[in-house]
Structure 1
Amino acid sequence: MRNDYHTVKDYGESEIIIQKSRFLTYVNRAETEEEAQDFINSIKLKHKDATHNCSAYIIGEHDHIQKANDDGEPSGTAGVPMLEVLKKQGIKDTVVVVTRYFGGIKLGGGGLIRAYGKATTEGIAAAKVVERKLHHLMKVSIDYNWLGKVENEVRNSEYPLKDINYADSVEVNVYVKAEDESKFSDWMTEITNGQTKIEIVEKEFLEFEVN
């Protein structure tokens, strides 16, 4: 499983006007190439009358899938600068479509590169960037007499509390960053005087907005 990484929170869209041309940007998360292509096709269908529907996406733990499409704009002036924005911001598993309605004024190669780059940046800002951090869901099994202390300590700590299950013993489920597993276990052991059982239930990502 990959370590922490940045991606977009969810769907976002934006619009800018440059020299009377409208640039509509649509951004979404895509974890497979099929998801990216489906999103691109849905935007193309929505804007069948547009002059261009340019796209770019970057997918995979090591960015092994990277595609850019100029959709009729001069080669290298649309899809590539869009992809470069994704790479520069270090964003993974993201697809972007910039729809252009030509306003009658030609922008030239440099103007197009700047326009599509700016449109992509605006769209990403609208979708919002998050950091996905790998956490271990730790199950802390304790007797009921430790519940008050453990719950209070966890709620006032850096570790997000998922839930508490009440059975023969109490199971407190807490999210712990992968690198903090040992520190957390030692802390729980100290709090309960060693009267606890701690185990990893599963691994999953939690998302935190990036300013």
Structure 2
Amino acid sequence: MDTYLTVTSSAEYQLTEKRSRFLGFAMHVESEDEAKSIIAAYKKKYYDARHVCYAYVIGDDGKTTRANDDGEPSGTAGRPILGQIVSHDLTYTLGIVVRYFGGVKLGTGPLGVAYKTCMGETLNLAECEEKIITSTLIVSIPYTDADTAMRFIREAGADITQRDYDLQGTILTVSVRQDDECALRDRLSKILSLKFVEQD
């Protein structure tokens, strides 16, 4: 699979359960640092709330995850939020639920359900989009064979994102679907004058 699903527009949802208010937020994030920065901003904005709980999933493969209960009983907030992001098959996604305590204790079971429901409904409101995972190839090719290389690249459905020139010929930067990279490499390798430029 060389695609992933992510939130493309932020969404908000509000749930009231036994006088406690749960404010759900879902948004796209590119990195853990960005997620942490947004979480810090929300904690500052909702400084008067009892809890600002969150979870996020990062990476093309969705392998980087984090969940935080922010003082709620262990496993009742962060994990249900994370579970909803995962069950929606999302990555590069941050979910935050702010809780204003209403004076009535919910108990761990209903509390977990409230966080799960709030995040689930928030994600249902969010716009999501399938993104294609791409790889970058850089090739150096003499002018005489450049047209052939560019034809191979076009036929593979890849894009030339940058074109540079040196004394030897043309340097092409190519963006190709990850699943198509090996086939394109093999085909380009048949042009004996072509060299792959190693990236830093």
Q: TM-score, normalised by structure 1?
A: 0.64
CA RMSD of aligned residues (A): 4.1
Deviation at 1:174, TM superposition (A): 1.0
Deviation at 1:80, TM superposition (A): 1.9
Distance 1:181 1:13 in 2: 35
Deviation at 1:47, TM superposition (A): 0.9
User: Kindly tell me: are residues 182 and 78 of structure 1, through their superposed partners in 2, closer, same or farther at Cα, counting changes over 3 Å?
Assistant: closer
2:196 aligned with 1:199, yes or no? yes
Deviation at 1:82, TM superposition (A): 0.8
Question: Structure 2, unaligned stretches of length 5 or more?
Answer: none
Question: Structure 1, unaligned stretches of length 5 or more?
Answer: 204-211
Q: Aligned residue for 1:52? A: 51
Report sequence identity in percent: 24
The C-alpha deviation readout for 1:68-101, integer Å capped at 9, x for no partner, is 21534x5533222112223434555654321134
Bigger Cα displacement from structure 2, 99-108 vs 12-21: 99-108
Distance 1:56 1:27 in 2: 11
The C-alpha deviation readout for 1:111-142, integer Å capped at 9, x for no partner, is 44333223324555637465562513232413
- 1:7-46 aligned at under 5 Å gives the runs 8=6, 12-18=10-16, 21-29=21-29, 31-32=31-32, 36-46=35-45
User: Kindly tell me: are residues 36 and 133 of structure 1, through their superposed partners in 2, closer, same or farther at Cα, counting changes over 3 Å?
Assistant: same
Q: How many residues align?
A: 195
User: Kindly tell me: are residues 69 and 164 of structure 1, through their superposed partners in 2, closer, same or farther at Cα, counting changes over 3 Å?
Assistant: same
User: Kindly tell me: are residues 167 and 176 of structure 1, through their superposed partners in 2, closer, same or farther at Cα, counting changes over 3 Å?
Assistant: same
Distance 2:69 2:22 in 1: 18
Q: TM-score, normalised by structure 2?
A: 0.67
Q: Is the 8 A contact 2:46 2:98 kept in 1?
A: yes
